[in-house]
Structure 1
């Protein structure tokens, strides 16, 4: 009597693939949540900077549409959500390359794209946590009151805003070693945040820095965040979205070229 091998139903295979994606995303999130060198700065620094520089040192009602506590809520929110993309991709991909983990994955029967999707979900979850921490400080300490629609729009802007920084981080991780990546990312992350007007309003920076600000992706995400909460912003929304999409696609293409297996 011949045994007949059971062929998995396509729906069963699809369910198994979805389950694997969810498991890998969960494990990636928990892995970095349990990594103090990543988790503590990512969550604590934006909240600390907003509390000290955006709330305690900027008490007052502002002038016109400018409200310091709301303005810096958006700015430091963008500063915070950049980190999961840059460090979560850049450093971890660089270390995975050094350890040969990416080469090993190519030899395993894993769903395509699961590695990058897991990291993307991780970055978006950390961005959501950053938003929640800053929102809690804004409401409880700074007395910020916004319509539900403004909170929702700011949440969407900041969580989806990790995408270009994930692409940039992926490219850096494909280019540098695990030892070099953190230093290089810090040299990009901190100056870009300042030069984009996230720490202090661009209006008080020298003219040459104000004119150069649109060169940075963080500037465009910042303008979207300011507009979401009714704070002064510059330029049409469509332009900022288009620039961020271009950054995402360009750096994703560069990273893909770097990570493609040699033939």
Structure 2
């Protein structure tokens, strides 16, 4: 009986040891994966912030546009300055999303970096997550820069709750444009990607009423804007300050979700085409 109990104890001890070892290995594996994501994000951020061709236009152009239209032309018109703060904020967060994923990914794909990363043990999703975080980081810089200009040089007045709500809507609302950029980055050639992204980005912003109020556009263009995702993101932002053109929050969210799903599907198809 004692011998049987001893064997049982040994087996149980061994089993518990195996379970403990498996738990430790799982934890170590999870830590390594988290570290891989962290390192990829860190170096993606350093690469982007040290690239003046990307960092300077992404962070300064929205503030420069706002300086002309929101400050010089509407300095003593707080309603107009607030309206343009929301629309140029929308314009500002779309840029990093499109260029980080679109132009940046296409250039790296053309240089063969994506093939090297695919051959490494790094999870392929780390490339996407790192660019998403970097895009959100640049969006935050854009909004802070716009805020300094708006609150320092105009009569714009927003509560802390409005500032936080506006920032959250714009940063999270850039997701559909990250997915659009991902599709472009997987389809375009390195040489043509920056030009094509600009051809999409700038007219899309203008036609969505991000540069000038949509009411100043011809009637047929005003109707066309309702089919464009930047228009709906800007309307969600404008709802925070009570200057939107109408439509429910659910309606604007639905359009953005539909476009997100559409761009996600096109990105998956583009990835399969690249891998074929």
What is the TM-score with the length of structure 2 in the denominator?
0.88
Q: Distance in 2 between matches of 1:254 and 1:73?
A: 32
Flag the structure with higher helix content: 2
What is the aligned partner in structure 2 of residue 233 from structure 1?
245
Q: Distance in 1 between matches of 2:108 and 2:77?
A: 48
What is the aligned partner in structure 2 of residue 37 from structure 1?
53
User: How many positions carry a matched residue from both structures?
Assistant: 255
Q: Distance in 1 between matches of 2:155 and 2:74?
A: 13
Counterpart contact for 2:118–2:124, Cα < 8 Å: no
Q: Equivalent of 1:211, from 220, 223, 248?
A: 223
**Long gaps (5+) in structure 1:** none
Q: CA deviation at 1:7?
A: 9.1
Q: CA deviation at 1:61?
A: 3.4
User: Which digits, 9 at most, give the CA deviation of each residue in 1:187-241, with x for residues without a partner?
Assistant: 1111111110111111111100001001111101110111122223321111111
What is the aligned partner in structure 1 of residue 169 from structure 2?
157
Superposed CA RMSD: 1.7
User: Which digits, 9 at most, give the CA deviation of each residue in 1:48-91, with x for residues without a partner?
Assistant: 110111121123337xxxx0111000000000111011111001
Query: What SS is found at the alignment partner of 1:95?
Result: helix
**Long gaps (5+) in structure 2:** 1-20
5 Å-filtered alignment, 1:140-219, equals 140-219=152-231
5 Å-filtered alignment, 1:1-263, equals 9-61=25-77, 67-260=79-272, 262=275
Query: What SS is found at the alignment partner of 1:259?
Result: helix
Q: CA deviation at 1:22?
A: 1.5
Query: What SS is found at the alignment partner of 2:247?
Result: coil
Counterpart contact for 1:50–1:73, Cα < 8 Å: yes
What is the TM-score with the length of structure 1 in the denominator?
0.92
Query: What SS is found at the alignment partner of 1:9?
Result: helix
Query: What SS is found at the alignment partner of 1:74?
Result: helix
